[in-house]
Amino acid sequence: MRRLLCTLFTLCWAATVLAIPPMGIEAPPLHYTLPKPERIILPNGVVVYLLEEHDLPLVDVQIRLRGGRLYEPADRAGLSTVFVRAWRNGGTLRHSPEAFNTAIEDMAATLDIADENDTLSITLSTLARDWRRGLALLAELLRTPAFRDEQVRLAKAQVVEQIRRRNDDLASIASREFAGFVYGTSHPLGRVPTVQSVQNITRQHLLAWHQKLVTPRNLWIAVTGDFDRRAVLEELRKRFGGWKGSSPALPTLPPPKDQPAGTGFIAKQADQAHLRIGHLGVPRRVPERAALDVLNYILGGSFTSRLTQEIRDKRGLAYAVWSSFAPANPRGLFVIGCQTKSESAEEVIHLIREQVRRLTEEPPSEEELQQAKESLIHSFVFLFPTASDAVSAQMLLEIHGLPRDTYDTYIDRVRAVTAQDVIAVARKYLFPDRLRVLIVGDGKKLAHLAEQAQRLQAR
């Protein structure tokens, strides 16, 4: 009865024989098919991705909307976080919060709403037998949330408590304040909620935010799992089809400004210094993504990376050292992170600077290049652990306006990367003379570093 939904896209790696010990262990060809969902657009603009998968009696629904933290007004920073909490916990016009949660949890279902930088996600997981009831509750929460006063107050108070606690942990200070140090503390990517900005939020703001964002033209729905597509489609049409609304106008985010080199210091009583070193990175859409992934693998994106070898393996100076080129809208971060005992902080900063510079001065060795490329190509099968992950990722490509075949072409793009490409992207995107260094650690033990740095406060 069911028709084949997938347009099959199969990757196949040729048989290879290992040239390393143990000599002669063969790797037969591997066949991998990226799960390809069916895509349907309802007349009112809702985009639906469907993929049946009958391995286990479970159904996953993920809904995405454009509009996250980056679009909050500055004087109400934290709005998005309060919004998703109060939305989820505030019940619906039909159901009190208690009745709503009881209905969800009596099915052992989970329903969560999360906010990210520029999207919101609502995820529902149910046993296969309960998908219809789960979807009905999800639609009810989506279209007729109540944002009850009591839950709005609770959401605000909980976010304020998180603000009070956010400086308990060095890693959280380092990540947050490094963003401020690079983007500037007034840029949406660098600013943080304050107790005051959260207090400024009212229930009316949340209702207006919901009205603005939650419209059929701003809705992407992915359903994966053990269901019959016709039944699900029918239910989706019933729940979301008759709904009208236009797409929300979201402002274009201001581009952050590149900053000169600089060192910042934040005092916090501790045994280790937490270091963040880097500068502005790349936007979501960047033609050299594959070469950047190779570069990052070589620098600090793997357990065989140069940073791990130099700082952890050879010298025992850290448990954790890593690098990242995560893309973001409008600009991501290039950042290296490391935690080391106070006495070693200076040496580690020096070693990191040296490694960044080296990448811009000489191409990687053939051995390093092959190591990186083969790792990225062969580990592609692990990119999406479940069919639901694969479908969500492909849906996100559409939302972010990225090429829809991004994952289909990825392996070929990595395969084409040369050592010259790597040094070219290093020279284009790495600036050893513009590195911004943030040190979070003990003011007394790190006095010599603190003296030469700009003193900053953890917000």
Q: Is position 270 an interface residue for other proteins (rule: CB under 8 A)?
A: yes
- Looking only at residues 397 through 456 of this chain, which bind other proteins when binding is defined by CB under 8 A? none
Q: Is position 339 an interface residue for other proteins (rule: CB under 8 A)?
A: yes
Query: Cβ(200)–Cβ(76) under 8 Å?
Result: yes
**What character string, x for contact with other proteins (CB under 8 A) and - otherwise, covers 340-359?**
xx------------------
The residue within the footprint of other proteins, chosen from 96, 102, 185, 409 (CB under 8 A), is 102
- Bond prior to 22 in cis (omega within 30° of 0): yes
Q: Convert 385-433 into a string of H (helix), E (strand) and C (coil).
A: CCHHHHHHHHHHHHHCCCCCCHHHHHHHHHHCCCHHHHHHHHHHHCCHH
User: Least CB distance from residue 374 to other proteins, whole Å?
Assistant: 5
Which residues have a Cβ under 8 Å from the Cβ of 75 and sit 6 or more positions away? 197, 200
- Looking only at residues 154 through 183 of this chain, which bind other proteins when binding is defined by CB under 8 A? 154, 157-158, 161-165, 167-170
Q: Is position 268 an interface residue for other proteins (rule: CB under 8 A)?
A: yes
- Please count the residues of this chain forming the interface with other proteins, following the rule CB under 8 A: 77
Q: Is position 314 an interface residue for other proteins (rule: CB under 8 A)?
A: yes
Q: Is position 302 an interface residue for other proteins (rule: CB under 8 A)?
A: yes
Q: Is position 378 an interface residue for other proteins (rule: CB under 8 A)?
A: yes
Residue length of the chain: 459
**What is the token pair recorded at 94?**
């039909």
Considering beta carbons, is residue 191 or 331 the nearer one to other proteins?
A: 191
The residue within the footprint of other proteins, chosen from 4, 7, 21, 451 (CB under 8 A), is 21
Question: How would you class 275 by CB atoms within 10 Å of its CB: exposed for 0-12, middle for 13-18, buried for 19 or more?
Answer: buried
Query: Cβ(242)–Cβ(142) under 8 Å?
Result: no
DSSP 130-142: GHHHHHHHHHHHH
User: Least CB distance from residue 39 to other proteins, whole Å?
Assistant: 22
The residue within the footprint of other proteins, chosen from 133, 315, 358, 400 (CB under 8 A), is 315
The residue within the footprint of other proteins, chosen from 269, 365, 420, 454 (CB under 8 A), is 269
Distance of CA 317 to the CA centre of its chain: 29
For residues 418 and 423, give the distance between their C-alpha atoms in angstroms, rounded to a whole number.
9
Considering beta carbons, is residue 46 or 411 the nearer one to other proteins?
A: 411
Q: Is position 129 an interface residue for other proteins (rule: CB under 8 A)?
A: no
Considering beta carbons, is residue 26 or 451 the nearer one to other proteins?
A: 26
For residues 423 and 361, give the distance between their C-alpha atoms in angstroms, rounded to a whole number.
8
Considering beta carbons, is residue 314 or 404 the nearer one to other proteins?
A: 314
The residue within the footprint of other proteins, chosen from 304, 324, 360, 406 (CB under 8 A), is 304
Q: Is position 192 an interface residue for other proteins (rule: CB under 8 A)?
A: no
Considering beta carbons, is residue 155 or 236 the nearer one to other proteins?
A: 155
- Looking only at residues 209 through 248 of this chain, which bind other proteins when binding is defined by CB under 8 A? none
**What character string, x for contact with other proteins (CB under 8 A) and - otherwise, covers 38-67?**
-----------------xxxx---------
Q: How many CB atoms lie within 10 A of CB 401?
A: 10
Q: Is position 386 an interface residue for other proteins (rule: CB under 8 A)?
A: yes
Relative orientation angle of helices 406-415 and 289-299, to the nearest 10 degrees? 60
Query: Cβ(240)–Cβ(139) under 8 Å?
Result: yes
